[in-house]
Structures are given as structure tokens and as C-alpha cells.
Amino acid sequence: MAAIAQMKKLRILASLRWQATRGRATNPYTHNGRIANPAERMYRIMKSRILILLFLFVAQGIKGNEADSLLIRYSDWNIEPSHISTCSNFEVLNGYEEEFIIPTSSHVDSLKKLLTHLQEQEDRYFPVRCKLYIFCGDAVREKICMNKSTIAYKGKTYANNDTIVCFINQLMHNFPSCNSKRFLPDIIGANYVEGRDSLYRLLTKELDKWASTYFYRGTTIMTIRCKANKNGKTTKTDVKIRKPEHPNKAERKMAEKLRQYMISNIRWEEDPDRSPYDFIIFTIRYNNKQ
């Protein structure tokens, strides 16, 4: 019996060696190079199909996020505006002259290629003469502001060149002017990170403290003009007392406390297009007649 068992063992070893020499891996699920177990075969098929569907889904998602159109708002390249013209106030204060919609993704791709080799410059003010919106569907993906010499793009400032100016001029020549008002920016200003209502409640609470300190009773209206950097930090604040016409000592002290508090504690929403010449302006009315 032992001899028979030994012979079977030798046969199995010989068979394994023979399969190895032919490059076949020993696999309990395979028979003649095919998967023998039906459950295992179905699992492999389903796995391959899921991977194919996942690939198609990701590819479609990437395609769906591609920029598909361009909106150009333009004012004369060669006219220097008499007022401050920034990326934030260009449409509202500047009053752009013409608007063009470029409905092809190929032109957007060409523009973005031209923007990849620009020389970065120090962040500084320049009068905006042209503003571009890159769209994906109805959503704004990117904003670009420029004049003939400077470009503001993705929060940085670059030197413009004749190639880009000529490219935009060519687009405006090839596509008809329109006035669709497809997209208009929000009102000039900025939002407190926790919302405008929260800002008023916070400032009123602080004014209550200062009114108590200075024994103030009465009503005052103050206009606050702020500047902030791109990250939302308040960099400068001016507080002007509108009413009463002749403020008393307590009102002047409260206005100064408010100015200091704004600079030290108030942050605004980040805005990569914010210019050092953009103001955040709002008015607050404080009443304490207790």
C-alpha cells in the first residue's frame, strides 16, 4: 500500500513539473486554461464590467467639467478711464461697451494655452479694459481681467502681450456683439465670512460695550469704508459719523474703537480678484436710549 501511495505521489509531482515546463500555473479554478468554477467565472466577468463602467463614468465626469464657452466684456483698449477700474467694479462702474459670447471650447483651450507662459509680475493696480468669464454650462469656472499690458488671473498678476490682445480682438471680430446679460457679478463689496447679518449683530454688541464705557445715550449713524487683501484680512478702515452732524466726544471715541476693531477682528470672504483699490462700504445705525 505504501508503494502504491508513493507511486501516486511521484505521478502528481511529474505532472506538476510537466505543466510548469509548458508555462501553465497550477490553479484549482482552471481547467485547460479556462476558469472551471462557475461562481469564480461570473465574479471575474462582473468585475471586468464594473471596471469598464467606472472608467466610462470617470471619463464622462472629466468631460463634463471642461470649459465650453467664453464671455468677453470689453471697453476700448486705448482709453484710460478717469476713475478707478478694477476687476470687481469693471462692469458696474466702468460700463463696458460691448459683450461677446464665444460658444466653442476650442477657443477656450487656445486662450488657456496662451495664458500658461506669461511672466508673473508684482501685484499692483492697473485699469481693467477687458474682462473674460470662462464657463462650464451655466457656471463660471474662471475670471480673467486685463488691459494691453497686464493680466490678473487666478489671484496673480502677469505681463500681457500682443499675441493675447490680438487673439481677443480676432474673437470679437469673428463673433457678433450681443447683450445677453448671461451673467452679472454681485453688487460691489464683499461678504463677512459669517454673513452680513452676523456682522451687524457683532458690531452692535461691541458698540453696546463702548456705549456703556463712555456713558453714551442716543442714536448715531456711521459709514465704514474698508480695504481687504485677497485672503480677506481687513487692511484699512475709515469710519465717518454721518449723524449727528456734530458728534460729541463719546461718539468720536466709539467711532475710533470701531475702526480699530474692524482692522483687528473682521475678516471677509476670500477674493482672488480683489484689488488694493476696491473698497468694502456699508453703513450701520446704532441706537442706545436706555
236 confidence band (pLDDT: 50, 70, 90)? very high
Where a domain ends, among 151, 178, 205? 178
> Percent of the chain, pLDDT > 90?
30
CA angle 242, 243, 247 (to 5 degrees): 100
Same domain, yes or no, for 103 and 171?
yes
Q: Which among 178, 211, 228 is the end of a domain?
A: 178
- Examine the domain organization and report whether 164 and 209 are in the same domain: no
Containing domain of residue 204, as a range? 196-288
Amino acid at 49: R
What pLDDT digit, counting tens, does each position of 153-163 carry?
Answer: 988 899 999 99
pLDDT of residue 275: 79
DSSP structural state of residue 132: E
End-to-end CA distance of the chain: 112
Query: Based on the domain organization, do 166 and 205 belong to the same domain?
Result: no
Residues 207 and 266 in one domain: yes
Q: Are residues 200 and 264 in the same domain?
A: yes
CA-to-CA separations, 137 to 103, 154, 182, 192, 240, in angstroms, rounded: 10, 20, 11, 29, 44
Cβ atoms of residues 66 and 136 within 8 Å: yes
* Bridge partners, residue 283, by sequence: 223
Residue 169 domain-assigned (yes or no):
yes
* 288 bridge partner residues: 218
Reply yes or no on whether the pLDDT at 26 is more than 80: no
* Rounded-to-integer distance, Cα 244 and Cα 104, Å: 57
Please give the tally of structural domains in the chain.
2
Residues 129 and 75 in one domain: yes
| Same domain, yes or no: 173 and 200 | no
Domain assignment present for 104: yes
Is 211 a member of any domain? yes
What is the distance between the alpha carbons of residues 288 and 103, in angstroms, rounded to a whole number? 57
Cα-atom radius of gyration of the chain, to the nearest Å?
A: 34
Closest CA to 150 of 116, 108, 122, 178: 122
Cα angle 174, 178, 180 (rounded to 5 degrees) comes to: 140
| 9 part of a folded domain | no
Place of cell 452679472: 184
What is the per-residue pLDDT for 206?
A: 93
* Arithmetic mean of pLDDT, 140-162: 90
The region that residue 124 occupies, defined by phi over 0 for left and psi between -120 and 50 for alpha, beta otherwise, is beta
Tell me, yes or no, whether 201 and 135 share the same domain: no
Question: Is residue 174 domain-shared with residue 200, that is, in the same domain?
Answer: no
Confidence of residue 17 (pLDDT cuts 50, 70, 90): low
For 37-82, what is each residue's pLDDT tens digit?
666 666 666 767 776 666 555 544 434 457 678 889 888 898 887 7
Q: Does pLDDT of 169 surpass 50?
A: yes
pLDDT of residue 165: 95
Q: How far is Cα 160 from Cα 12, in angstroms, rounded to an integer?
A: 78
| 86 & 142 share domain | yes
Residues 85 and 170 in one domain: yes
